[in-house]
Structure 1
């Protein structure tokens, strides 16, 4: 029984490490700094606040950035981010 544990423990440890690495990469992608939150809350429109409530901060921040980008400011378009 101990021999089986000796063989399975390294494999289980490797799988756990790979799962934690995937989780870390997802969290890193969703990382938002405090300056972004302050800027968003100061000048967000109701549409972005609706997106914040329904889809979370990363999607709302993407919509906010799309609205403020030069390409969209000329046409006045607002792109809605859905997940």
Structure 2
């Protein structure tokens, strides 16, 4: 019986470690980066701060990114497409 325990425990630990690695990679892609938060706090507008207070950091960063991308999109629309 002890032999099964000797083989089972390392296998369980190995599978648990592999599972946790997969969880960590998913969380890393979803999580908010520190640089995003710093940039938001330096350049946020009042409506974005209200979104931070009312809906959390995810919605506030979404509004912030949309505003930043919106300015770039307007600049790109003014350009003529290359032939």
The TM-score normalised by the length of structure 1 is 0.57
Unpaired stretches in structure 1, ≥5 consecutive residues: 75-83
Q: Which residue of 1 aligns with 2:34?
A: 33
Residue of structure 2 equivalent to 1:17: 17
Higher helix share: 2
Preserved CA contact (<8 Å) 1:66 1:72: no
Gaps of 5+ in 2: 75-83
Cα distance, 1:57 vs structure 2: 3.0
Distance apart, 1:62 and its partner CA = 2.8
**What is the number of residues matched between the two proteins?**
73
For the 8 Å contact 1:67–1:73, the answer to whether it is kept is no
Q: TM-score, normalized by length of structure 2?
A: 0.57
Taking structure 1 as reference, are residues 22 and 52 closer, same or farther at Cα in structure 2, changes over 3 Å only?
farther
Greater CA radius of gyration, 1 or 2?
2
Distance in 2, matches of 1:54 and 1:19, equals 34
C-alpha spacing 1:72/1:48, structure 2 compared with 1 (3 Å): farther
